Amino acid sequence: MDRDEDHTIPTAAADRVGHGGNDGREPVFNLAPAVAGIGLVCIAIYAVEAFWLNLDQQLWLMLHFAFLPIRYTGPFALDFSALISPVTYSLLHGSWGHLLVNLIWLAAFGSPLANRIGTMRFLLFWIAGALSAVALHFVLYPSSVVPLVGASGSISAMMGAAARFAFRVDRRAPKPAFTGPVLPVSVVLRSRMVLVFLGVWMVVNLATGVFSGTTIDGPQIAWEAHIGGFLLGFFGVRAFDRRHAAPQYPQDN
């Protein structure tokens, strides 16, 4: 952290990992219940799809629970799937690799956020991130017939939220959580750590878009949707924060 950051981003002793106390005995896997639950649901759904469903049944799953933009712009009646698929798509995945990567990021960013804001707010945050991600995807591809799947939009929202805390986590607590106030955007954008993270995140997303390509008949992992989720988390995390856990920051904006 450079000299300017020392004066703009508050720190606490709990943010730093020491050599005594319980620091050396922190569990490798310390997942919040909501994070573990969502992860297990995603694993169960894909395991059933991969090992038990035939091709026709997999197609049925995609048609009813993946997000299909053409469902809303084409000559189709708005049924129950049209109402739930903007959220249920976030629980489906395109491959074991896709699922594994998302589970890793979910554990890293989801647990400290869930421990900070609580289970119910976290579930609402997940839904809001999924909706924000799919909304941007729909604006860009309103007539797409390719099903959109994956938790990446919601997880990107968690990354955006983490940036507003400048990634400060109280790791000495029994349930490690993001600590301190939600920082003003003007302060966050002066943090070298946050700026580097944003740069790397954007490059990775652009590379995903360039090298992953799209398929005609398979599910799509849309990198643009990640941006929609990230923006929701970055600008909207304060609405989900528990007030007693969010002391006001001086010169808040």
Distance of CA 208 to the CA centre of its chain: 16
Considering only residues 250 and 103, tell me which one the structure prediction assigns the higher pLDDT: 103
pLDDT band at residue 248 using 50, 70 and 90 as cut-offs: low
Residue 199's Cβ-count burial label (10 Å; 0-12, 13-18, 19+) is exposed
Q: How many residues does the chain have?
A: 253
> Does a structural domain hold residue 25?
no
User: In angstroms, what CA-CA distances link 58 with 48, 55, 251?
Assistant: 10, 5, 52
pLDDT, position 8: 53
In a domain, 17, yes or no: no
Number of structural domains in the chain: 1
- What range does the domain containing 115 cover? 3-10+31-243
Specify if 93 maps to a domain.
yes
Q: How confident is the model at residue 164 (pLDDT cuts 50, 70, 90)?
A: very high
Q: Which residues of 12-50 are buried (b: 16+ CB within 10 A; e: fewer)?
A: eebbeeeeeeeeeeeeeeebbebbbebbeebeebbeeee
Residues 92, 49: Cα–Cα separation, whole Å: 9
For 186-205, what is each residue's pLDDT tens digit? Answer: 999 999 999 999 999 988 88
Mean pLDDT of 5-19: 46
What pLDDT score does 87 carry? 98
- Per the domain annotation, does 248 fall within a domain? no
Per-residue model confidence as pLDDT tens digits over 16-60 = 433 334 444 555 458 999 999 999 999 999 999 999 999 999 999
The pLDDT tens digits for 208-234 are 666 654 443 445 557 889 999 999 999
Asked if the structure places residue 22 within a domain, the reply is no
Q: What is the pLDDT of residue 141?
A: 92
Which H or E run includes 169? strand 169-170
| 62 neighbors 146 (Cβ within 8 angstroms) | no
Beta-bridge partners for 169: 178
Q: Using an 8 Å Cβ cutoff, are 220 and 214 in contact?
A: yes
Tell me if 180 is assigned to some domain. Answer: yes
Q: Is residue 39 part of a domain?
A: yes
CB 146 within 8 A of CB 216: yes
User: How far lies 13's CA from each of 18, 68, 167, 169, 170, in Å?
Assistant: 9, 48, 14, 11, 9
Which ranges of 106-252 would DSSP assign to H, the alpha helix? 111-117, 119-140, 152-164, 185-188, 192-212, 223-236
CATH number (domain holding residue 125):
1.20.1540.10
Residue 20 within any structural domain of the chain = no
